[in-house]
Structure 1
Amino acid sequence: MAQQASPGAQPSLLEPARLYEIATGLRPFLVDTARAGATTSWPLIRNRMPNLPRLYRDDECVILWLVDEDGNEGEPLLASLITVGNRQMHPRFPVIAEQLGLSCGTGVAQQQTVWSYEVLKVHQHWRHRR
């Protein structure tokens, strides 16, 4: 008999194929978010994608990395559109950006500046593309 997870239990790590599947489904949503000149958050993504399983933070990072890894060379990072709180930079953005080749520096102010500029570039890049 399978054990039922307790309400506060952590989700299990997902298989790489499932992470890629989620990233493939998430990319169009992030492109639409960019076209609208907006940002989003994981709670809003879960509302938009109700079948999305509960994710570890590490899985969320892998998914965002896959979203941008699947893009064209030189495109600004859609991962920059994921925010926390009151539209603030997601704390894992600098790590994801570094993994994708965008240096964010080490200081918080420098990382914030790089993130803000990347959000602007994403909005401009996708504004008139179909």
Structure 2
Amino acid sequence: MPAHGGSVPREGQPGFLEAGRLAELATDLRPLLEQTARTGATTTWTVIRKRLPALMGLHRDDESVLLWLVDGDRDQSDPLLSALVTVGDRQMHPRFPAIAEQLGVPAGRSSTQHRSTWSYEVLKAHQHWRHRR
């Protein structure tokens, strides 16, 4: 089985993308998430794919890497734009706690702490980007 950067897909699943391609896609995704924050909203991968067709068929692991890359070079005081990607009816994405931890934002150990950290990051993102262009 190839390492994460490989190109052999699993049965019925898309293959992993190269790191350079993921960085390009993160550059495309960031303005969309900034706009989402400015409007005080959240979004889902379904909506993101409609706005950025290049993300169609993106592997779930690559989605997580992409969100990490979007926030990877932010100032440490900046909120996590990746928190704005939700599932269902504005519910925390299940991978948010791991992504937050990787980015140096302690998400806690319990599901209550995870949701609290997520809610706070969403609020901070909305406030931070509300008046920015």
Provide the TM-score with structure 2 as the length reference: 0.89
**Deviation larger for 34-43 or 66-75:** 66-75
Who is 2:107 aligned against?
Answer: 104
Q: Give the structure 2 partner of residue 72 of structure 1.
A: 75
Post-superposition Cα deviations, 1:27-84, rounded to whole Å, max 9, x if no partner, equal 0000000000000010000000123241111100100000001323311000000000
Correspondence list, 1:81-92, <5 A: 81-92=84-95
Cα-to-partner distance string for 1:3-43 (whole Å, 9 max, x where unaligned)? xx9xx810000000000000000000000000000000100
Q: Which residue identity does 2:45 align to in structure 1?
A: W
- The list of structure 1 runs, each at least 4 consecutive aligned residues, that deviate by more than 4 angstroms after superposition, is none
| Farther-moved stretch of structure 1 (47-56 vs 11-20) | 47-56
Instruction: Give 3-state SS (helix, strand or coil) of 1:66's partner.
Output: helix
Q: CA deviation at 1:115?
A: 0.4
Match of 2:43, SS state, is coil
| 1:53-64 alignment runs, 5 A limit | 53-64=56-67
Q: CA–CA distance in 1 between the matches of 2:102 and 2:88? A: 24
Let me know the Cα RMSD of the aligned residues.
1.3
Whether 1:94 and 2:97 are equivalent positions in the alignment is: yes
- Aligned positions, number: 124
Partner of residue 3, structure 2: none
* Cα distance in structure 2, aligned partners of 1:44 and 1:74: 28
How high is the sequence identity, in percent, across the aligned residues? 61
Which residue in the other structure is 2:13 paired with?
A: 10
Q: TM-score, normalised by structure 1?
A: 0.91
Q: Which residue of 1 aligns with 2:120?
A: 117
